[in-house]
Amino acid sequence: MKHIPRKRFGQHFLTDTGIIDQIVKHIAPRAGDAMVEIGPGTGALTQPLTEHLPQLTVIELDRDLILRLQMHPQLRVVQGDVLKVDFAALATELQAAKLRIVGNLPYNISSPILFHLLDFVDIVQDQHFMLQKEVIDRMVAQPASSAYGRISVMLQWRYAMENVLFVPPESFDPPPRVDSAVVRMIPRPAGSFAPLDQPLLEELVRVAFSQKRKLVRHTLGRWLEQRQFGGTFDLQRRAEEIPVDEYVQLAGQVPAAPAPA
């Protein structure tokens, strides 16, 4: 019986075998990999991956799909919401130092998934995701471009990223109304990024981009005053004009928020 895609799960199933082959080549699975697939769906990418792997862990929320996946002898099925999965615990269960994570991410929650995975970047070898092309454009965007924003800063702080493949709407069933693409995300090696209080950097960047058309003295400037920042920072710029490294350096200089009374 054919599975009917569910809108509430943002399901668009990949059906183009040529595109699937290209994705698998970019992932380059090897027998010893501890690989995790997010949202395997009807198994379009899952089956080709299992041809290279003795076991594949999949994370799926749709109960109807889970019943089918559990019948596959090479799959270890994790039932539940990916946003609640502890990937560090999963790596321990798999006895793996590093995970390789792949998937055709649901478009309606792709950004939350990326930010959730940022919490586990230290135990990730690499990530290959199919996403809305517009999201990937924002992920890899450079300063002074319209696509540059909060997600650009937060992900470029910890990952080297590359758009490796364009995927047209007709590659899916049902076809989405947007173009898609595949991104490769490789965590930056230790020593190549500044260790920071991640929630503080997230708050700083969120404040800076809260009013993109205004100079950051109206947003970030006030936030820095509240934090009693005593350093110097050029606030006569828009948020999209400030490079990732400058946001990171600033976050390293900002005093911690005072404890509540």
- List the binding residues for S-adenosyl-L-methionine: 12, 14, 39, 60, 81, 104
SS3 99: strand
Report the alpha-carbon distance of residue 74 to residue 63 in Å, rounded. 19
Sign of CA dihedral 149, 151, 156, 158: positive
Residues in the chain: 261
Q: What angle do CA 175, 179, 182 make, to 5 degrees?
A: 105
Residue the block writes with tokens 């190549």: 192
Tell me how far apart the alpha carbons of residues 41 and 57 are, in angstroms, rounded to a whole number: 13
List all residues 6 or more positions away from 74 whose beta carbon is below 8 Å from its beta carbon. Answer: 50, 53, 54, 55, 56
Q: How many CB atoms lie within 10 A of CB 86?
A: 11
- DSSP per residue over 148-198, as a string? -SHHHHHHHHHEEEEEEEEE-GGGEESPPSS-EEEEEEEEPPTTSS----H
What single-letter amino acid sits at 207? Answer: V
| The two three-digit tokens of residue 235, written as one number | 């606030």
Which residues contribute to the annotated binding site? 12, 14, 39, 60, 81, 104
Euclidean distance between CA atoms 99 and 125, whole angstroms: 6
Tokens 């006569």 -> residue: 236
Distance CA 167, CA 128 (A): 14
